[in-house]
Amino acid sequence: MADGTWDFYFTHDGEVPLLVALDFAVGAAAPLATHPERLIVSVKMRAAMANGLRSSVEAPALFDLEDRLSQVLEAAGWKPVGRVVTRGRTDFVYYGPVGDLPELSLGEYDDATRLAHTDAAWDLYRNFLWPGTREWQQMSNRRVVMELRSHGDKLDVARPMDHLARAVDEEAAAAAAAALTAAGFAVSGVTETEDGTWRVAFAKSDAPTQMDAVTAAVLDALEGMDDVAYEGWGCGVVSDEVEQ
């Protein structure tokens, strides 16, 4: 794996699952004028799972392939920016300078497809691979769960989950509170903040392992409310040490 700040999310193309991994560090600077060319090395997996995603059996070989590809391409000035896994294939995405591509050693995946295009605007990276609101929330959920796990949390135990949303004005906050109440959340406060925005505090008892579904329900409740933003959730640690 190349240096950078990588994270991943799951999404769907219709009923088909996709796993998208991105180097988010390069996102702040994209598009790079020095890297107008795009290369996708598309590999047909040998032992994909039934849903078309990568299996643990084949993962080591694919990680090794990615390391070898990135070593050669980075030496030639190319940047590894993403990876898409779906429909039994893994697509490795790079952006680089104008010029001839270096020779790539694909080993057992020598039937891989190389797709090279000019994409000076980095359209694929910015408009297809870049996560939407729900995908950002999924990644945030995973980080909170990882932090809880590091404290020995019993992740499958339900406990009060505190949520926050922010609205531009009182009217938008009241609409959000009503929608969240209708979705089964208990609204505990609608208050104005020092910067003039309004904060909606709400809660519901859930387990950390359920939070992707729970936050999806929050976003569903706030759908279409352009003046309201969900800020996230938090909870106390539940562990043997705490219970003692």
The mean of the pLDDT values for the chain is 95
Q: Which domain holds residue 202?
A: 149-243
Instruction: Collect all residues with Cβ–Cβ distance below 8 Å to 110 and sequence separation of at least 6.
Output: none
Tell me the C-alpha distance between 189 and 170, whole Å. 12
Let me know whether 10 and 106 are in one domain.
yes
* Model confidence pLDDT, tens digit, residues 197-222: 999 999 999 999 999 999 999 999 99
Let me know whether 28 and 120 are in one domain.
yes
Tell me the C-alpha distance between 206 and 162, whole Å. 10
What strands lie across the sheet with 198-206, from one edge to the other?
Answer: 186-192, 198-206, 159-167, 228-234
* Model confidence pLDDT, tens digit, residues 217-236: 999 999 999 999 999 999 99
In a domain, 140, yes or no: no
Look at 55-59, 101-105, 170-174 and tell me which has the smallest mean pLDDT. Answer: 101-105
Let me know whether 186 and 233 are in one domain.
yes
**CATH at 184:** 3.30.70.970
- Name the residue among 61, 129, 62, 65 with its Cα closest to residue 95: 129
In a domain, 134, yes or no: no
Burial of 160 (0-12, 13-18, 19+ CB in 10 A): exposed
Structural domain tally of the chain? 2
For residues 74-99, average pLDDT: 97
For residues 131-158, average pLDDT: 96
The predicted structure's pLDDT at residue 4:
55
The predicted structure's pLDDT at residue 105:
87
Residue that is last in its domain, among 129, 161, 176: 129
Let me know whether 121 and 157 are in one domain.
no
For residues 103-125, average pLDDT: 95
What percent of the chain stands above pLDDT 70?
Answer: 97
Let me know whether 109 and 191 are in one domain.
no
Let me know whether 21 and 52 are in one domain.
yes
For residues 55-68, average pLDDT: 96
pLDDT band at 1 (very low <50, low <70, confident <90, very high): very low
For residues 82-90, average pLDDT: 98
Q: In the beta sheet, which residues pair with residue 184? A: none
* Model confidence pLDDT, tens digit, residues 71-83: 999 999 999 999 9
Omega of the bond prior to 36 within 30 degrees of 0, cis?
no
The predicted structure's pLDDT at residue 69:
96
Let me know whether 15 and 124 are in one domain.
yes
In a domain, 64, yes or no: yes
In a domain, 136, yes or no: no
Tell me the C-alpha distance between 45 and 61, whole Å. 10
- pLDDT at 242 > cutoff 60: no
Tell me the C-alpha distance between 93 and 85, whole Å. 11
pLDDT band at 2 (very low <50, low <70, confident <90, very high): very low
Quote the pTM value. Answer: 0.87
Let me know whether 35 and 113 are in one domain.
yes
Q: Are strands 159-167 and 89-96 parallel, antiparallel or unpaired?
A: unpaired
Let me know whether 116 and 169 are in one domain.
no
The predicted structure's pLDDT at residue 243:
52
